[in-house]
Structure 1
Amino acid sequence: MSLPSHPTIIVVHYKERRSKCTVEPLRHQPGFEFWKFPLKEPQALPNYIRLGIDGPPLSREDRKHGLLVLDATWKLASKMEAEFEDVPIRSLPVCQTAYPRNSKLFEDPSAGLATIEAIYVAYKILGYSLDGLLDEYRWQDEFLRINEDVLNAI
């Protein structure tokens, strides 16, 4: 398995608490760039695709593109999408999150994953190296267990 030819860009909302951020350990891995939202100025991302829920399925053919991932609560992420509406969306197969949720204000999407889970599934589909992605994810074993059939089918 290989690494992406473009860095994976993770845009983190300023209200996202780093202590709860599932992708925080990726800051030290090669191939990842972290941007803070809101951006100081708009960024052109002509050869990128964005992970989302309502797009065509992500496929191996998407390897030619870089991956853009928005990291925030679902409520905040929906507000971030407007800034990246020109970046085509790709969706992931339906998996269950292992990340414990406890929002009392709104309901998370049923197909919603923790950011690290979404990146793991995307990298598996794209044929990229999975080494180290889930090493520091507290719910790694549970995530892999409950999604074993889906992940094995990729």
Structure 2
Amino acid sequence: MLYEVILDKGETPNKCSVAALSYRKDFQIIRVMGKNRLGPLRSAILLHHEGQCLTSISKSVSEIAVVDCVWRQLDFLLSRIEAPLPLFARIPEGFRTAYPRRSVGDTDPSAGLATIEAIFVASAILGKWDASLLSDYYFGQKFVEINRNRFLELGVMQAGDVNSLPVLKHRVRNSVQRRQDRGRIK
């Protein structure tokens, strides 16, 4: 699976849930700067809260696009992407976040997921369970555990296998590493 992440200039790499994955070859992080148009995107689907439910989309999808921004910026960023836009696809209801986020203006929806959680769920529903997506996050295993029943209801059986859970990999997370991660996001 390949992932296109449109990252708003207002998202700081320290708080961005996908910044830690900028080293992965299956992630293309597109940083929005200036007023230039973006795209067009290669992905067949774009995760969006008003899209078609992922459970009704073909499992042959091999690329997923997401926009990582504050909610009030979403429509503006979408308007900057060149046509044709990918099919909007949404995560089925019932998933709970494990990411410790906090919106300054309290604008996040109560049932919203962190970008990395949404990517993980979409990939799993489309038949590509990849525990390594969450292995850079201390909350990764907790996310799968609190959503295990929902995954199983949707036929994602790996969620019930303890050997398929994300395992936090040891990675130095000091100030030098964080600066390097920020530098990977252009």
Alignment TM class, shorter chain as reference: 0.7 to 0.9
8 Å Cα contact 2:51/2:90 also seen in 1: yes
The normalised TM-score by structure 1 is 0.83
The normalised TM-score by structure 2 is 0.70
Match of 2:23 among 25, 28, 34: 28
**Which position in structure 1 is the counterpart of 2:92?**
93
Q: Which moved more, 1:119-128 or 1:17-26?
A: 17-26
8 Å Cα contact 1:63/1:126 also seen in 2: yes
Q: For residues 133 and 33 of structure 1, what CA distance do their matches in structure 2 show? A: 14
**Which position in structure 1 is the counterpart of 2:68?**
71
Gaps of 5+ in 1: none
Structure 1's 149 and 132: CA in aligned 2 closer, same or farther, altered over 3 A? same
**Which position in structure 2 is the counterpart of 1:116?**
116
Q: Which moved more, 1:120-129 or 1:98-107?
A: 98-107
Q: For residues 104 and 42 of structure 1, what CA distance do their matches in structure 2 show? A: 27
**Which position in structure 1 is the counterpart of 2:14?**
19
**Greater C-alpha radius of gyration:** 2
Q: Which moved more, 1:46-55 or 1:35-44?
A: 35-44
**Which position in structure 2 is the counterpart of 1:56?**
52
8 Å Cα contact 2:37/2:80 also seen in 1: no
8 Å Cα contact 1:49/1:65 also seen in 2: no
| Residue-pair matches, total | 149
Q: For residues 68 and 10 of structure 1, what CA distance do their matches in structure 2 show? A: 6
Q: For residues 7 and 30 of structure 2, what CA distance do their matches in structure 1 show? A: 6
Q: RMSD value over aligned CA atoms? A: 2.2
Following superposition, the deviation at residue 118 of structure 1 comes to 0.3
**What fraction of aligned residue pairs are identical, expressed as a percent?**
30
Following superposition, the deviation at residue 87 of structure 1 comes to 2.6
8 Å Cα contact 1:93/1:150 also seen in 2: no
- Render the CA deviation track for 1:2-46: whole Å, top value 9, x for unaligned: xx2xx3100111111111111122212222111011473332236
